[in-house]
Amino acid sequence: MTGRTVLLGATGYTGDLVLESLLRRSIEPVLAGRNRAAVRARAERTGGLNYAFADVTDPTSIADLVGRGDVRGRDPPRGPQHLHPHR
């Protein structure tokens, strides 16, 4: 199975920076966040990227979003430099 790159927090300031960086590298992430309207709008503005809804305060929504082999980016406190495979 080929993993996806999932960007949780895609609608915030840091999410903007991470998204720009990923797109420059020709990586098209799945955009994710808790605000349905904002996530959908961000996906539309970026050419129709895939998107999903998840909230870090709801562990089930995160578990449903990220599967084995996926790569997730984590917003602060550690920042976007800590991309790592989901195990």
What pLDDT, in 10s, does the model give residues 78-87? 444 444 454 4
What pLDDT, in 10s, does the model give residues 26-80? 999 999 999 999 999 999 999 999 999 998 888 888 888 887 777 655 554 444 4
The three-state (H, E, C) secondary structure of the chain, written as one string: CCCCEEEECCCCHHHHHHHHHHHHCCCCCEEEECCHHHHHHHHHHCCCCCEEECCCCCHHHHHHHCCCCCEEECCCCCCCCCCEECC
pTM given for the model: 0.75
The predicted structure's pLDDT at residue 2: 62
